[in-house]
Structure 1
């Protein structure tokens, strides 16, 4: 089951997110993201969080629509996004996409990107998507679909990435070790409609971007 989680991050194109969420099997709104869903008249399956960011008009609208609210204390050890991921796992999600999960708060942006690792270790495929970027994570093999000219970057997650092989990119690598903290994996370019990334030991973020 594909679960889409709309996060209260930066949104430039509401129609982009509406189209993306329409393709999900189940939609979770993380607290303040409900204000955006209200504007697009998109009804989520559940709203999760401490409800400190949702506006009254949006709250009333979704209550009238019969949307389930999962309320948590404002003082808690988990973000609304992490709580939403846990809920997605509980209802049987095997793929979770975080939408609008980056923004002006660098701490929240980094935290949400790192939640891809959290999902990986719990057996879920995770992606983070906005209008210009798609972030994935792998500790094995990954095929990325796209267009010729798309930018693809690979970044070690929590240590050196050993045995990295990149094919279908302008700057290929074969059984290469990318040292944690180094930037050699940034801004590669797809030469066709797909590329393949493999890491033998370690874990890497894979970011497909369009300028």
Structure 2
């Protein structure tokens, strides 16, 4: 049995039950308490046909953000935008109005919430403490059939929160890209052909979580051909040889960690 897949299904099922339960609770910031009604209002999506809607969700968390130049392209894709409650103030200060904010609302003020509501946003209070705010946001995105998520602010700040955020992304059943200050953490699904934009000479590493089967990697100094990766250092310190990496594998979960070209290189790849 693949333990990672089992854990991901367990987390998703449990979180979905909590989502359904919480949707039925009275909330002064929500217009209805009926669990059968949608719990997210896509203001950007309402004017788009189903074929034009993006299947990507952009999530803002309360860690350290990368610079806005790296975030801006995702804001132009008509993606659903969610904010964890601790990131709402920063969103508004950067002229970003999410479709919804989610969390227990202990990290934002009533003044910020009222300002957000006046701008047409929706507040979804989830007070249970068995999952953290990024978990709640990813569950909401999965419930709306998003195929991929880009997360800003998952890393930096409190290291315990950072680890919780990254492990939550690893357990999710979507392709997820976490934009850090200097790094990108990409959690990639199996049975897909992944084309990953790189710069020739850019450093990256592959990590199996906990194992990945039939891994094929092209466009790297150290390619792979149908190999099995186990949790450890087997995929550490590789180098892109062209503008893209080609990656696919049959089973498991892989995280690709790459250093952003603007950051200083860390260490030297070993032969």
Give TM class, smaller chain: 0.7 to 0.9
Cα distance between partner residues in 1 of 2:112 and 2:100:
13
Among candidates 227, 235, 238, match of residue 185 of structure 1: 235
Among candidates 128, 136, 151, match of residue 187 of structure 2: 136
Aligned to 2:23: none
Matched residues, number? 205
Aligned to 1:152: 204
Name the TM-score, length of structure 2 as normaliser. Answer: 0.68
Alignment of 1:4-19 (within 5 A): 4-19=58-73
RMSD: 2.1
2:242 counterpart SS class: coil
46-55 vs 137-146, which deviates more? 137-146
Cα distance between partner residues in 2 of 1:143 and 1:12:
23
1:20-77 Cα distance to aligned partner (Å, 9 max, x none): 334342100110111111211211100101111114543232122121100121x521
Among candidates 2, 13, 29, match of residue 83 of structure 2: 29
The reply to whether residue 80 of structure 1 matches residue 140 of structure 2 is: no
Aligned to 1:109: 162
146-155 vs 136-145, which deviates more? 136-145
Question: Which of the pair is proportionally richer in strand?
Answer: 1
Q: Classify 1:89/1:192 alpha carbon distance in 2 versus 1 (closer, same or farther; 3 Å).
A: same
The reply to whether residue 91 of structure 1 matches residue 144 of structure 2 is: yes
Question: Structure 2: where are the runs of 5+ without partners?
Answer: 1-54, 264-271
Cα distance between partner residues in 2 of 1:156 and 1:79:
24
Q: Classify 1:138/1:206 alpha carbon distance in 2 versus 1 (closer, same or farther; 3 Å).
A: farther
* Structure whose CA Rg is larger: 2
1:32 counterpart SS class: helix
Equivalent residues of 2:66, 2:182 under 8 A apart: no
Question: Structure 1: where are the runs of 5+ without partners?
Answer: none
1:36 counterpart SS class: helix
Name the TM-score, length of structure 1 as normaliser. Answer: 0.86
Q: Classify 1:191/1:108 alpha carbon distance in 2 versus 1 (closer, same or farther; 3 Å).
A: same
Equivalent residues of 1:18, 1:40 under 8 A apart: no
